[in-house]
Structure 1
Amino acid sequence: MTTAPKTQTNEGGDVRLAGISKTYGSFTAVHPLDLTVPRGTFFALLGASGCGKTTTLRMIAGLEDPTTGTVALGDQDVTDLPPYKRPVNTVFQSYALFPHLDVTENIAFGLRRRGIKSVRKQVGDMLDLVQLGDFAHRKPHQLSGGQQQRVAVARALINHPQVLLLDEPLGALDLKLRRQMQLELKRIQTEVGITFVHVTHDQEEAMTMADTVAVMNGGRVEQLGAPAELYENPRTTFVANFLGTSNLIEAEVVEAASEITVLASGAKLRLPAGRCPTATAGGGRLLVGVRPEKISLVHTDDAAEIPEGRNRITGRIADSSFIGVSTQYLIDSPVCPALEVYVQNVERDTRLVPGADVILHWNPEHSFGLDADQAVDAGKMGDTAVGEVA
């Protein structure tokens, strides 16, 4: 295992991984990785099961030894330090609370273990932070899952770690409670100002809470950036499909200037040159991407009402699903066999039913381009690398 000098500058990062990797025999769980987590931010490692995100987190925590590379926390190289000597605490999905201790004593456990006897004020501050002041003397079994998770967070934060690591902390909660806790964790991180590194497979969870997201795939970081940037400007088909849903249309470039013009099964589509890979902007094949919610859907009888300058393609509704806030349509089209369109349920057109002929149209600015040599289905649910560990 390689090591770096023991004294380094922070360079604005609370966590810095340099050339870090992990192999198990002939299998590589994490390929050499350079990553800096900015100080005081909420950072998410996002990916499907087996992508290497948990292994990366465990190397930061000291629970796994890296095969190569270094781990620095602030200005300290901690690569060779055991977990208990690192300025980090970890919150797990299982909560790991002591069932025989009440909330106060669970939170105070770390302080008492260090020989600190006067813990009342610090525990009180933590109870206020996680909004559990009225539950101070309850046992874990008397709390909901979300309340237990807050106790686990408070117990970790009371030790004033430099970095808080969260390994799928909301995975055991139901959907409604999980969404509430997403907002709670973000509020807590904002209030305490400590760097959070959060591992999750849940795209919505990462997008809701994180300032920066690293999308991992096959032991590598596929793309890193702010949630909105990753969603609006994916660089690979994996990111386009894994973060939400994307319609990817195979096309041929016919003109390249400030705007790219392509042909897809006879339909002419346009998209900004700035949202295309440079390797394909000058000609050849291209995947044109557009998110389902960016597309408008009209019956063919209303074709004259479509504004000029819109991308448009024809199709037929194959299926539809009413999900409350919107209706999701599956469209068969000459340009793509299964296009998805999400239409807000504001003024529903009763003609838009399976079998109806329709026109799909959208602002060209909402299109993005990807290298057509990539797998169109990469990153869709169930698409995980074989034989990989978390």
Structure 2
Amino acid sequence: MLPQDSGDLTLTSLTKRFGQFTAVDSLDLTIAQGSFFALLGPSGCGKTTTLRMVAGLEPPTHGEIRIGSRDITYDKAYRRPVNTVFQSYALFPHLSVWENVAFGLKRRRSAQVDKQVADVLELTELQALAGRKPAQLSGGQQQRVALARAIVNRPAVLLLDEPLGALDLKLRRQMQVELKRIQTEVGLTFVHVTHDQEEAMTMADTIAVMNAGRIEQLGAPADLYENPATTFAANFLGQSNLIRATVEQRQSDSVTVALPRGTVRVPAGRLPGGVDEVWVGVRPEKISVHGETVDGKTVGGKTGFGQTAHDGTGQPVAGLNRIEGAVVTDASFMGVSTQYLVRTPWDQQLMVFEQNRGNAGIHRPGDRVSLSFAAEHTFALDANQDSAAGIDLDGEAPG
């Protein structure tokens, strides 16, 4: 059963200024009913301020907030069909789990309180803990109680403000799976604010990457990761190697670009129009590292494509972009993968993640190597953008 006042959550020209500082800058956004949506960005980007405006905890300077056909822009917080789950669980310490979950229903004198509470405790797998007080629960259990207390009221939109931030890594990953399962079963609109890229990609159907009060890019997790539209998105959502390059030749399906040494190919559809100076991007896990010699034969020559490369098993792979004459400067074994820093002939450090398949040794610092990556895994961005945008942004002001 859908809650009252259900429908898409729509933000139109939503703006919030604090004096001369613009925290949220004319935001236009539609969040589909029943979806799991993530607002992702570094501290200070405006994501929490946006959430607080939707919750009714912060009045907008300008703009409109609607759920379905209902304008809630200036409704009091308690009148909105919205509930919020915070990082601090805000449970009543003197009440049991059952009483915490039932609290809002009893205040509204809802019918069938016992059944509604029983149903949501089953959904959140808290039946066996119904009689316990919050102090007797783990952090993950307390988070599920806070979630149950919000869900039982059947809001049109459930707002989640960094809800897993206080949990340790293992429990946080377990709760990511649980939150997605619960959202799928209950069918409510979840809007999740986080600075954690993995968290957003694990749970959300759609992600809005925010930067300086605006949406930098919007889309499905896989599309944002594989096809970043800006250097900020490329660097903030995962990690990217960005290499300065110049467009040399355009064909119908691919473009040849010149690196500081040699050339590589980029799919024509992944190159911004009307620019000749670009950042060529490739994700660290898309790159393979090859020893300078394989089976006693030197793998040499200049950077280029269409040459014969070798994968981790020593088998030839044709048609890969290649960078020759590189040197490993650091190798860190991570268990599932080895993380390399590799210095190119033009003295740029590139990062490589090589999966541990158990069939190849680890390259050591000082090893001379070549790098290869498929043209279809290569993207390009306008070189007028800052190549360092989106890197190391945590620890700024809240927002």
Following TM superposition, by how much is the alpha carbon of 1:91 offset from its aligned partner in structure 2, in angstroms?
A: 0.3
Given the alignment of the two structures, is residue 279 of structure 1 paired with residue 262 of structure 2, yes or no? Answer: no
Query: How far apart are the structure 2 equivalents of 1:305 and 1:270?
Result: 15
Amino acid of the residue matched to residue 298 of structure 1? H
**Residues 351 and 245 of structure 1, relative CA distance in 2, 3 Å threshold:** closer
Amino acid of the residue matched to residue 265 of structure 1? P
Quote the residue 2:322 is aligned against: 312
Is the Cα contact below 8 Å between 2:309 and 2:320 reproduced in 1?
A: no
Given the alignment of the two structures, is residue 300 of structure 1 paired with residue 310 of structure 2, yes or no? Answer: no
Query: Matches of residues 98-117 of structure 1 in structure 2 within 5 Å?
Result: 98-116=92-110
Give the one of 215, 218, 226 matched to 1:224. 218
Given the alignment of the two structures, is residue 352 of structure 1 paired with residue 363 of structure 2, yes or no? Answer: yes
**Residues 145 and 41 of structure 1, relative CA distance in 2, 3 Å threshold:** same
Quote the residue 2:178 is aligned against: 184
Following TM superposition, by how much is the alpha carbon of 1:179 offset from its aligned partner in structure 2, in angstroms?
A: 0.3
Following TM superposition, by how much is the alpha carbon of 1:150 offset from its aligned partner in structure 2, in angstroms?
A: 0.5
Query: Matches of residues 261-280 of structure 1 in structure 2 within 5 Å?
Result: 261-280=256-275
Deviates more, 1:256-265 or 1:179-188: 256-265
Query: How far apart are the structure 2 equivalents of 1:266 and 1:158?
Result: 61
Following TM superposition, by how much is the alpha carbon of 1:389 offset from its aligned partner in structure 2, in angstroms?
A: 4.5
**Residues 383 and 126 of structure 1, relative CA distance in 2, 3 Å threshold:** closer
**Residues 251 and 305 of structure 1, relative CA distance in 2, 3 Å threshold:** closer
Following TM superposition, by how much is the alpha carbon of 1:346 offset from its aligned partner in structure 2, in angstroms?
A: 1.1
Quote the residue 2:304 is aligned against: none
Helix, strand or coil: the match of 1:99? coil
Amino acid of the residue matched to residue 259 of structure 2? A
Query: How far apart are the structure 2 equivalents of 1:217 and 1:79?
Result: 23
Quote the residue 2:353 is aligned against: 342
Following TM superposition, by how much is the alpha carbon of 1:352 offset from its aligned partner in structure 2, in angstroms?
A: 0.9
Helix, strand or coil: the match of 1:254? strand
Is the Cα contact below 8 Å between 2:288 and 2:373 reproduced in 1?
A: yes
Is the Cα contact below 8 Å between 2:309 and 2:318 reproduced in 1?
A: no
Structure 1: gaps (5+ residues): 1-9
**Residues 383 and 132 of structure 1, relative CA distance in 2, 3 Å threshold:** closer
Query: How far apart are the structure 2 equivalents of 1:279 and 1:195?
Result: 39
Following TM superposition, by how much is the alpha carbon of 1:335 offset from its aligned partner in structure 2, in angstroms?
A: 4.5
Amino acid of the residue matched to residue 23 of structure 1? R
Query: How far apart are the structure 1 equivalents of 2:93 and 2:247?
Result: 63
Given the alignment of the two structures, is residue 289 of structure 1 paired with residue 300 of structure 2, yes or no? Answer: no
Amino acid of the residue matched to residue 312 of structure 1? R
Helix, strand or coil: the match of 1:380? coil
Query: How far apart are the structure 2 equivalents of 1:305 and 1:329?
Result: 19
Query: How far apart are the structure 2 equivalents of 1:165 and 1:244?
Result: 24
Following TM superposition, by how much is the alpha carbon of 1:209 offset from its aligned partner in structure 2, in angstroms?
A: 0.2
Is the Cα contact below 8 Å between 2:51 and 2:193 reproduced in 1?
A: yes
Query: How far apart are the structure 2 equivalents of 1:372 and 1:233?
Result: 16
Quote the residue 2:314 is aligned against: none
Helix, strand or coil: the match of 2:238? coil
Aligned identity (percent) is 60
Following TM superposition, by how much is the alpha carbon of 1:118 offset from its aligned partner in structure 2, in angstroms?
A: 4.3
Kindly provide the CA deviation profile for residues 319-353 of structure 1, in whole angstroms up to 9, marking residues without a partner as x. 01111100000000025611001111113533610
Query: Matches of residues 113-192 of structure 1 in structure 2 within 5 Å?
Result: 113-116=107-110, 118-192=112-186
Quote the residue 1:94 is aligned against: 88
Structure 2: gaps (5+ residues): 300-307, 311-316
Query: How far apart are the structure 1 equivalents of 2:166 and 2:385?
Result: 35
Query: Matches of residues 206-245 of structure 1 in structure 2 within 5 Å?
Result: 206-245=200-239
Quote the residue 2:255 is aligned against: 260
Amino acid of the residue matched to residue 221 of structure 1? I
Query: How far apart are the structure 2 equivalents of 1:56 and 1:350?
Result: 49
Amino acid of the residue matched to residue 275 of structure 1? R
Kindly provide the CA deviation profile for residues 111-143 of structure 1, in whole angstroms up to 9, marking residues without a partner as x. 111123741111100100001111010111111
Given the alignment of the two structures, is residue 370 of structure 1 paired with residue 390 of structure 2, yes or no? Answer: no
Is the Cα contact below 8 Å between 2:7 and 2:156 reproduced in 1?
A: no
Is the Cα contact below 8 Å between 1:13 and 1:37 reproduced in 2?
A: no
Is the Cα contact below 8 Å between 1:14 and 1:163 reproduced in 2?
A: no
Deviates more, 1:318-327 or 1:109-118: 109-118
Following TM superposition, by how much is the alpha carbon of 1:80 offset from its aligned partner in structure 2, in angstroms?
A: 1.4
Give the one of 11, 14, 18 matched to 2:8. 14
Amino acid of the residue matched to residue 162 of structure 2? E
Helix, strand or coil: the match of 2:198? helix
Is the Cα contact below 8 Å between 1:19 and 1:32 reproduced in 2?
A: yes
Amino acid of the residue matched to residue 192 of structure 2? H
Following TM superposition, by how much is the alpha carbon of 1:81 offset from its aligned partner in structure 2, in angstroms?
A: 0.5
Kindly provide the CA deviation profile for residues 177-215 of structure 1, in whole angstroms up to 9, marking residues without a partner as x. 000000000000000100000000000000000000000
Q: What TM-score comes out, normalization by structure 2 length?
A: 0.91
Helix, strand or coil: the match of 1:346? coil
Following TM superposition, by how much is the alpha carbon of 1:256 offset from its aligned partner in structure 2, in angstroms?
A: 1.1
Helix, strand or coil: the match of 1:310? strand
**Residues 165 and 383 of structure 1, relative CA distance in 2, 3 Å threshold:** closer
Helix, strand or coil: the match of 2:257? strand
Moved over 4 A (4+): none
Quote the residue 2:72 is aligned against: 78
Is the Cα contact below 8 Å between 2:39 and 2:47 reproduced in 1?
A: yes
Amino acid of the residue matched to residue 269 of structure 2? G
Amino acid of the residue matched to residue 17 of structure 2? T
Helix, strand or coil: the match of 2:319? coil
Amino acid of the residue matched to residue 265 of structure 2? R
